[in-house]
Amino acid sequence: MGKLVNTRNSGRRTRPDEILFSAERLFYRFGVRKTTVGDICRTAGISRMTFYKHYRDKVHIAEAVVNKLIDELTASYRRIMAQKIPYGERVRRFIELKLAKADDMSASFIKEIYASPYPALHALLRRRMEENLKIALDEYRSAQRAGHIRPDIKPEFIVAFLNIMADMVADERLTRLYATPKELGAELMNLFFYGILKDKGKR
């Protein structure tokens, strides 16, 4: 495995934060399966004893990485949707944000959180997605009432289709068609969002 440079700055991060940051960088680049607790410790500049004071094992810290990712995306979604700009522009900005985030991740990491061999990560992602889809459902209803989303689409269908899209990201038949996860994500996100907008996704 390639070696990541330790960019720790103890004046800015606490020890648990540094461990999480190091794990995030390694998981994003190499995936969970190829990353070991030893790799995380070396990158963070800590001992195994210190690691186990904060996390049970590799999957436990992977869950923390997934939670951090979703929390950041949720906060960004709320911030973008609160902006006083046209709805289509808000959608475009959020799509660009998600695609930029996906560009930082390896195909292995994306597949590992959407499907096996780590059922705990898959279950966590599903649970967090369900929470966020409830937030999105309220947003879609509001946008539809305001005339931004086509009136002939049920908001509940939008939420159901987002779940289907999550499964498509982990579908090997699809992922083999694209050079990077970002390319597949761009295809799905553009098809979905620009297909529901009343103005046909005018940019």
Per-residue pLDDT at 201: 47
Tell me how long the chain is.
Answer: 203
Residues 89-124 pLDDT 10s:
998 898 888 888 888 888 889 888 887 688 889 889
pLDDT at 11 over 90: no
Q: How confident is the model at residue 88 (pLDDT cuts 50, 70, 90)?
A: confident
What architecture does CATH give domain 15-54?
Orthogonal Bundle (1.10)
182: tokens are: 């970002």
62-76, 101-115, 131-145 — which is least confidently predicted?
A: 101-115
Domain 15-54 and domain 59-196 have a common topology = no
pTM of the model: 0.80
How far is Cα 160 from Cα 3, in angstroms, rounded to an integer? Answer: 40
Give residue 1's pLDDT: 60
Amino acid residing at 22: S
**3-state secondary structure at position 197:** strand
Q: Sign (positive/negative) of CA torsion 12, 15, 19, 24?
A: negative
Mean residue pLDDT of the chain comes to 86
Q: Whose CA is closest to 117, among 23, 56, 32?
A: 32
Tokens of 47: 């001992």
Q: Which of 9-18, 38-47, 151-160 has the lowest mean pLDDT?
A: 9-18
So what's the pLDDT on residue 202? 46
* Residue boundaries of the structural domains of the chain: 15-54, 59-196
Q: Does the domain spanning 59-196 belong to CATH 1.10.357?
A: yes
